[in-house]
Structure 1
Amino acid sequence: MDPLIQIGGRTYELIQNYREAWDPEAFKQRYSEVLDRYDYIIGDWGYEKLRLKGFLRDNHPKANRDTAYSGITDYINEYCNFGCAYFVLQKVKDNHKEKDTPKDKESGSGKSVQLQETETASE
């Protein structure tokens, strides 16, 4: 089972983790509610910094060449550093999961990860 990530009232599933790019703390720090409207979030690493970009499902009415899920490979090849580590998160639907998973899927560690917007006090 792939990790589930909860942030901003949304739940995401890690569907691709190329070169072990997934870092929950870095994601928590970089996440913005602007990403809430997207069905997929890609995080790529360049110069030790995480960059996040949202994509819509291919059949979304507002999806275009640059924002559709089918364009993720083009985005990686054109805008990311060559060979960089990256991950892809898919928003989990309440009633069912809608999956257009990549053919070269690499899953994560299998642990469930919950992110909260507030810090918890340690004992």
Structure 2
Amino acid sequence: MFETTVSVDHRRYEVIKDVRNGWNEDAFLKRYSDILEKFDYIVGDWGYDQLRLRGFYEDSNHKSTFDTKISTLVDYLVEYCGFGCAYFVLKKVSKK
């Protein structure tokens, strides 16, 4: 079973999905922005050798809109990511 955690800006995240070896901690830490802190999940996808990060909320989170619910992740991957791209999903687990 794949279990990895990362701490950044007083938050701790667990890598819950790593598809095609998309998880790269150094690249994530370089691209991370504190705007992502408000989200329950962070998705990182690779295209043209660049990492793109996007935040998602739990479906039950009152801040979520249709496009920011984690249940729409597959739609996001199909519409905005290259076919077969490497990606990862982080879940916020607690403060550092």
Q: Give the TM-score range, shorter chain.
A: over 0.9
Deviation at 1:62, TM superposition (A): 1.5
Deviation at 1:93, TM superposition (A): 3.7
- Alignment-derived partner of residue 49 in structure 1: 50
Tell me, what secondary structure is at the counterpart of 2:74?
helix
Structure 2 CA distance for aligned equivalents of residues 52 and 16 of structure 1? 14
Task: Report the Cα offset of residue 38 of structure 1.
Answer: 0.2
Q: Which has the higher strand share?
A: 2
1:46 is displaced (CA, Å) by: 0.1
Between structure 1 and structure 2, the one with the greater Rg is 1
Return 5+ residue gaps in structure 1 as ranges: 95-123
Q: CA deviation at 1:64?
A: 1.4
Preserved contact between residue 11 and residue 94 of structure 2 (Cα < 8 Å): no
Q: Tell me how far apart the structure 1 counterparts of residues 86 and 92 of structure 2 sit (CA, whole Å).
A: 20
| TM-score calculated relative to the size of structure 2 | 0.94
Q: CA RMSD in A?
A: 1.0
Q: How many residue pairs were aligned?
A: 94
TM superposition score normalised by structure 1 = 0.74
